[in-house]
Amino acid sequence: MAKKSSVGDSFHLPAFAEGHTAMKVIVVGGVVAFILLFITAEVLNRTLKPSEAQRTEIRHAESPFNGERAYADLKRIVEIGPRPAGSEEAARTRDYIKRELTAAGLEVSEQAFDASTPIGVRKMVNLTGIVQGTKPGALAIGNHYDTKYFPEFRFVGANDGGSTTAWMIEFARTLGAKRAGRSVWLIFFDGEEAFKEWSDTDSLYGSREYVVKLREQHRLDEIKVMVNVDMIGDCYLGINRDGGAPDWLASIVWNVADRLGYGKHFLSMPQTVQDDHIPFRRAGVPALELIDFSYGGSVLEHQRNWHTPNDTIEKVCPASLQAVGDVVYHSLAELDTYFDDNGRR
Ligand SMILES: [Zn+2]
């Protein structure tokens, strides 16, 4: 109980003032603590739980690309099982890609090579499907079809490796044999994943080889632009803007995304990731990476899903494949216009 004080009691006045200050400190402290707790809870929530607002929902497609059909391809690819570079399953995946691309009217070529990896020499094969254009030069779209080698558990890579392989097959159908504009090269890289720890020599085997060969053949200049897709099947799609890409290139794609109503999935926060576009960028080709590197929509979900046995098909949504299909489809026309207006790179 507080000691009662009376006016004029000089002894008690300071005591009253002290008590008042202490009360203020307690109240202010309490408010600050409450705010801090609230902020912490919000940060934790975002770290642990995906935001449902981020979930991809499509009312109608914005292009001939069909996300459901791509998802059906993904089921077939995941059923093949783990597909590390050099495996029998990787060869079966290639057979599937070649069959579907050929059926879509594309000209398909193989580039086989021996890669020295930390677990020995592995046979690898890059695949390219070409959509013939009416103008000189090519717009390249890349992805990797291998899955990371995990002998200790079953890794089917539904999103990491699978989603873009299926997406590219459907993209080939969307474009068909010919298009008005520049040719489109759909490149399926082998050996993107490291066999042990990611390093300059243990990663990107297929794309590094591809650029070496293009340079040897003096064909690097043919490629006007390279867009690489990876892990774009996440039901909670969030693609950060590639901080290493030329601004004009990222702007073309991000403006298309905004125009089509996919702004919430194409985030303005920049991020740079090492992937198959890097060897092209180092060779001077304008390159852009499209990757959702928050698999599952939160930091915790990403930890649970990326490069783990949880990278399974139910975490991939047709709507996300559709959104990226629509955006890249319309970006190609914008890129053609850009290169028409700016002859040089
Ligand atoms: Zn990976």
CB 300 within 8 A of CB 44: no
Instruction: Please identify every stretch of the chain with a pLDDT value under 70, giving residue numbers as ranges.
Output: 1-19, 42-46, 343-345
Tell me the CA distances in angstroms from 28 to 14, 19, 37, one per residue in order.
21, 14, 14
The answer to the question of residue 12 being in a domain is no
pLDDT at 344: 57
195 CA to centre of ligand 1 in angstroms: 11
Pairing of strands 107-117, 120-131: antiparallel
For 274, the domain range is 58-339
pLDDT at 17: 52
137 CA to centre of ligand 1 in angstroms: 30
The answer to the question of residue 276 being in a domain is yes
Whichever domain contains 181, its CATH number is 3.40.630.10
The answer to the question of residue 34 being in a domain is no
231 CA to centre of ligand 1 in angstroms: 8
Looking up tokens 């499509």, which residue turns up?
A: 58
Q: Which helix (H) or strand (E) holds 341?
A: helix 318-341
155 CA to centre of ligand 1 in angstroms: 10
Total number of domains constituting the chain: 1
The answer to the question of residue 274 being in a domain is yes
Q: Which helix (H) or strand (E) holds 268?
A: strand 266-271
81 CA to centre of ligand 1 in angstroms: 15
Looking up tokens 């309490």, which residue turns up?
A: 30
pLDDT at 345: 56
The answer to the question of residue 275 being in a domain is yes
The answer to the question of residue 51 being in a domain is no
The answer to the question of residue 72 being in a domain is yes
312 CA to centre of ligand 1 in angstroms: 13
CA angle 111, 242, 158 (to 5 degrees): 55
147 CA to centre of ligand 1 in angstroms: 7
Q: Which helix (H) or strand (E) holds 241?
A: strand 239-242
- Specify the DSSP class assigned to residue 58: -
Phi, psi of 263 (to 5 degrees): -55, -35
pLDDT at 19: 62
The answer to the question of residue 104 being in a domain is yes
